Amino acid sequence: MQLAQRSRSGAGQRGSALVLSLVAVGTVVVLAASFTQFASAVGNRQTHSVHKKRAFYLAEAGLAESFAAFSCGRSGVVGSEEAPARLGDGLFWVEATELIPGIVRLESTGMVGTGRAVLALVAQRGAVDVASLGVFSNGPLALGAGSRVDAYDSSLGSYELQLDKSGASLASNESITVSGTILMPSTIDGDVTPGPEATVTTSGNVTVTGSQARSFESLVLPEVELPELPLESAKDHASPYPLVLPPGKVSYAGLTVRAGAQAIVQGPAVVVLGSLLLESTAELVFDTSGGSIELYVTDSLVASARSLLTTAGADPSKVKIQVPGETAAPVQLRAQGAFHGIVYAPHTEVVLGASLNFHGALVADELTLNGAAKLHFDKHLLELAGEEQLPIVLSWRLEELGTLQGGLAADPFDALGLDPASLPRPAAALQDQTLDIHYYDAADVYHRYTGVESSFDWTVVKTVIEATRDGVDVLFPTAGTLTRVIRKAPGVLPIIDGPMI
Amino acid sequence: MGASWGTGLARWRQGALGLLGVLGVGALGRAQEALQEAFSGAPAALELRRRLTLLPGEELPRLFRLAVEGRLVLAPNGEVLPLDEVGLDAVRAALAVRPRRELVTFLDGLSRAPLELRERLEAHRLFSVAGGGEHLRLLLRLSLVPGDGLPPQELRASFVGALAAVLKRDELALEQIPSLFAESPPGLVGSVIEAVAEVTGPHATQVLARLLGRVPGLDGLLLGRLAQRADSADLCDEFVLDGLRRYLRHADPVLVVAACRALAVLGDDGAVEELIVLLERGDERVRAASGAALTTLSGLSFGLDVERWSSWFQDEQRWWNERAETELARVEGARGAEYVRAARAVLEHRLHRDRIAEAFVQALGRRAADEVWLACRALGELRSRVSLAALVECLEHEDPAVREAAWRALQAITGEALPAESASWARFAS
């Protein structure tokens, strides 16, 4: 009885083991299937993620290609959706839109595998910095006996401590006259460049160490953008204590500094004045220890004889005096002192007294030098002007980061209906533009080419005199800087080139 | 300037100088011979300097004249020997090593005679090596020119140089500045300020602050110079800051703007509430300056939005009053993950960053390198100058990651790009 009972219970146990085994196997199978599916899903997600990241990098590469081209005067367009550039196993194209004059939006789309990314960048074109012109007059320019025009590099120390004073630039859109005597010789340690139709005339004891060849073309001086600031009433300062204009932006209808008084402008500052009058023995100090100073004078600027115009620092790039329009009377800088700065008056005459030791750059519609001028051009301004001409990035944003329809099998070339083999490399996908270039070839022969850039062979160029793409100046690196310096005329007619490629 | 003094004064001056150094005609002759003798045989620079240094005391006036004129008149034929730069340097060096009492007595005598500009400039040069805090009035006398206008620019520059040299050498001389300021003619008070501004350190900052309000026309200059004293940011006392805060309520917007800048540079958390009020002033420059100052003080960019600034300020105050003490204690005492959490919590607050920085400075002394590293990173973010000395010490830490973090923090706080060696940062360690 007991045996029979035991036997029955043993049979029951054997069956339950089988069931348990089946359940266990089933569970393992389900788990395995789940894990396989999970792993597959994770793998897919990772693949999509990798493709998205690669698409992002492709779009970045597109922006870099476009921005580099934009910096060289190109439009910034690279390929198009119909004919993008191919890079590796992906593609990209960049569209350029001029938002307002000088501000361009570059939008780059990159696609690879299942990934698609769109990045956008807004860039501002570089500005022409007139400081690189040295001493320049739109009208005729005459230097009196005893004048000295030379150059130094403010980044290497003070003018007095430098031995190399070469590299000055004295130029005009018209004629230049330099005179000297045995007792008062005149020296220009650098180039003298008259206008394209004008000449340099020297009389007496005059030394010009550089070229006197004419300029390639007349220069058009850019306009001054006057900051809009709330105008305050005029200030008349006669106190024995200094008048301090603290850092910031300020605009006065006028500033008169009476005899024996002193005014100090502390940088960083933007100061707009209707008129500025420094009476004899008055002093105006530009204190640039805290930052740069921009002074705009709209109606009248007179620094009387025996007044004092001084800069606390010796870096000319930190003080800029600009006269935007034409003034009723010439701008008069008859002050004494060592001035380090840039003076720019594109529509008015500037009279420079002999007592002012001028370091920096001086550009005017008409320049009159009273007596023996002492003008020391700062070559460091050339480098700064080069940087100024480069475009700057105002903003960057990610517009889109997504996945193409069609799962892992999706392919951007199929999606766009393109044959990868027919697509150009990035450099070849840059938008073709009209190139107008004046250059010297390897044998120093002057050539000119006008036509689409794709037909021009850049390897024949040794030195560029001037080039434009669709009418926009092209900047070329020279001696490590990008500068727009005064270009000399070749003196002969060019050989006109036809399409080369 | 010189024209008004009259041509006869030149002879008077010669006589006065002669009287100062020469006891009799015979002595004059001997002195002249001795000076001439020093230049005989075209000696090398060092030898010339040695000979000039060995000249007797009565030669001082003639040496001075030599430095002023840059030429030696040879007896008996009156031949003129012009000095080159080397010769002039030797003369000046010989003058500079004369006994101080002798020089001061000489300069005192000189200051009582009418002087030409170049004599004053040379006297300033001599004063800068011989003068002390007790002689500042002598410097003033050497710089006084007729009239109320501005003295010549070279004279003002050399006055600034001489006064600054004395103040740098003798910090106690700063105590004399307020009285010198009061006695200076209007044309020179600006130069007194410029000279004090050339001296670094909190004492000079305090002196500049003490000069505020004495001459209303000079407050702009003083505020401007105070705004350039970032080196004193952590050491400014309440006297200085109170003096500056008064100008936030000034009627002249130019002075308010200057005060905003100065308070921001000096890191005055106590001015935040008043700066927020200024955001509602009518003057655009004042609004912009107070907004910029708030951004500098807080590290936040709320522009000119009064509501956001007010709300932020109230939150900061509430945190400071209710939770700051506990959380800062956790930063100072907690370890491991709790320390990290505490650090993250307090770094959300910037208003009392000097006090917060002090808590992290405590953490710099720990053994765990990763905790020290985190403290360095936090101090770099806080940009409080109270941590400079401790961070300089961390440049010697055994862990390279800590040294790197300390170096980056020092760069962030000071704006200096010095090498990662503690010797380069020594001046911040004191």
- What ipTM score was computed for the predicted complex, to two decimals? 0.73
- For B110-128, the DSSP string reads HHTS---HHHHHHHHHHHH
Closest alpha carbon to A262 in B217, B193, B198, B162? B217
Q: Which of B80, B96, B112 is the last residue of a domain?
A: B96
Q: How far is CA B161 from CA A21, B121, B342, in A?
A: 99, 10, 50
- Residue boundaries of the structural domains of chain A: 2-126+391-423, 130-386, 432-497
Mutate to test the interface with A, among B278, B285, B290 (most CBs of A within 10 A): B285
Chain A touched by B77 (CB under 8 Å)? no
- Strand pairing report for A255-257 and A235-237: parallel
DSSP, collapsed to helix, strand or coil, labels residue A213 as coil
Q: Which of B96, B114, B134 is the last residue of a domain?
A: B96
Burial label for A111, CB within 10 Å (0-12, 13-18, 19+), is: buried
Joined together, the tokens standing for residue A342 give 């840039």
Joined together, the tokens standing for residue A99 give 């938002």
Query: How confident is the model over B112-156, as pLDDT tens digits?
Result: 888 888 999 999 999 998 888 888 999 999 998 877 667 888 899
Q: Name the residue among B149, B190, B221 with its Cβ closest to that of A260.
A: B149
d(CA A301, CA A325): 12
Joined together, the tokens standing for residue A362 give 């001086």
Q: How far is CA B136 from CA A278, B130, B132, B192, in A?
A: 32, 11, 7, 11
Residue B353: per-residue pLDDT: 83
Closest alpha carbon to B132 in B185, B97, B168, B157? B168
Q: Name the residue among B189, B254, B288 with its Cβ closest to that of A241.
A: B189
Q: Closest residue of A to B229, CA-based?
A: A290
Q: How far is CA A90 from CA A65, A114, A409, A430, B402, in A?
A: 15, 10, 14, 17, 43
Do A281 and B217 lie within an 8 Å CB cutoff? no
pLDDT string in tens for chain A (501-residue length): 455 555 555 555 667 888 889 999 999 999 999 999 999 889 888 888 899 999 999 999 999 999 998 888 888 999 999 999 999 889 999 999 999 988 999 999 999 989 999 999 999 988 778 888 889 999 999 888 889 999 999 999 889 888 889 889 899 999 999 999 988 999 999 999 999 989 999 999 999 999 898 888 888 888 998 998 888 899 999 888 888 888 888 899 999 999 888 999 998 899 999 999 999 889 999 999 888 999 999 999 999 998 999 898 889 999 999 999 899 899 999 998 889 999 999 999 999 988 889 999 999 999 988 888 889 999 999 888 878 878 899 999 999 888 887 777 778 888 888 888 899 999 889 988 899 999 999 998 999 999 998 899 989 998 888 888 888 777 665 544 444 567 788 888 899 998 887
Smallest CA–CA separation between A393 and chain B, in Å? 21
Residue B327 within a domain: yes
Contacts of A92 (CB under 8 A, 6+ apart): A58, A59, A61, A62, A78, A79, A84, A85, A108, A109, A110, A111, A426
Residue B85 within a domain: yes
Do A241 and B190 lie within an 8 Å CB cutoff? yes
Residue B11: per-residue pLDDT: 47
Do B149 and A241 lie within an 8 Å CB cutoff? no
Residue A482: per-residue pLDDT: 42
A 306-335: CB under 8 A from B: 308, 310
d(CA A137, CA A176): 9
Chain A touched by B220 (CB under 8 Å)? yes
Joined together, the tokens standing for residue B286 give 């004042």
- Strand pairing report for A115-124 and A103-112: antiparallel
Closest alpha carbon to B363 in B320, B315, B331, B326? B331
A-chain residues within 8 Å CB-CB of B85?
A: none
- For A412-471, the DSSP string reads HHHHHT--GGGSPPGGGGBPP-EEEEEEE-TT--EEEEEEEGGG--GGG-SEEEEEEETT
d(CA B386, CA B392): 12
Chain A touched by B187 (CB under 8 Å)? yes
Residue A320: per-residue pLDDT: 95
Q: Name the residue among B147, B215, B221 with its Cβ closest to that of A264.
A: B221
Do A241 and B258 lie within an 8 Å CB cutoff? no
Contacts of A99 (CB under 8 A, 6+ apart): A105, A122
Contact (Cβ atoms closer than 8 angstroms) between residue A376 and residue A358 = yes
DSSP, collapsed to helix, strand or coil, labels residue A388 as helix
DSSP, collapsed to helix, strand or coil, labels residue A56 as helix
Chain A touched by B31 (CB under 8 Å)? no
Query: How confident is the model over B218-256, as pLDDT tens digits?
Result: 898 899 888 888 776 666 677 888 888 999 999 988 899
Q: Name the residue among A241, A246, A337 with its Cβ closest to that of B258.
A: A246
Residue B356 within a domain: yes
How many residues are recorded in chain A?
501
- The helices-and-strands tally (H runs, E runs) of chain B is 25, 2
d(CA B151, CA A240): 11
Contact (Cβ atoms closer than 8 angstroms) between residue B178 and residue B207 = yes
Crossing angle of the two packed helices B8-21 and B100-111, in degrees rounded to 10: 150
Residue B294: per-residue pLDDT: 93
Give the count of domains, chain B: 2
Closest alpha carbon to A237 in A210, A213, A214, A260? A260
Residue A244: per-residue pLDDT: 87
In DSSP terms, A450 is beta-bridged to A436
List the domain range (segments joined by +) for residue B42. Answer: 2-96
A 16-35: CB under 8 A from B: none
Spell out the long-range contacts of A370-374 with Cβ–Cβ below 8 A and sequence spacing 24 or more: A370/A144, A370/A334, A371/A144, A371/A146, A372/A144, A372/A145, A372/A146, A372/A147, A372/A148, A372/A184, A372/A186, A373/A143, A373/A144, A373/A147, A373/A148, A373/A149, A374/A147, A374/A148
Query: Mean of the pLDDT values across residues B305-314?
Result: 93
d(CA B256, CA A247): 12
Contacts of B358 (CB under 8 A, 6+ apart): B386, B387
Query: Mean of the pLDDT values across residues B17-29?
Result: 43
Contact (Cβ atoms closer than 8 angstroms) between residue A366 and residue A137 = yes
Residue A484: per-residue pLDDT: 52
Residue B422: per-residue pLDDT: 85
Residue B355: per-residue pLDDT: 86
Do A243 and B149 lie within an 8 Å CB cutoff? no
DSSP, collapsed to helix, strand or coil, labels residue B98 as coil
Do A250 and B285 lie within an 8 Å CB cutoff? yes
d(CA A264, CA A170): 31
Contact (Cβ atoms closer than 8 angstroms) between residue B141 and residue B110 = no
d(CA A232, CA B220): 18
Chain B touched by A279 (CB under 8 Å)? no
A-chain residues within 8 Å CB-CB of B185?
A: 240
Joined together, the tokens standing for residue B205 give 């900052």
Mutate to test the interface with B, among A257, A266, A356 (most CBs of B within 10 A): A266
| pLDDT surpasses 80 at B96 | yes
| pLDDT surpasses 90 at B75 | no
Q: Which of B44, B78, B96 is the last residue of a domain?
A: B96
Model confidence at B76, pLDDT cuts 50, 70, 90, reads low
d(CA A58, CA A65): 10
Model confidence at B2, pLDDT cuts 50, 70, 90, reads very low
DSSP, collapsed to helix, strand or coil, labels residue B49 as helix
B-chain residues within 8 Å CB-CB of A248?
A: 257, 285, 288-289
Model confidence at B54, pLDDT cuts 50, 70, 90, reads confident
Q: Write the class of the CATH domain A2-126+391-423.
A: alpha beta
Q: Name the residue among A262, A266, A308 with its Cβ closest to that of B190.
A: A262
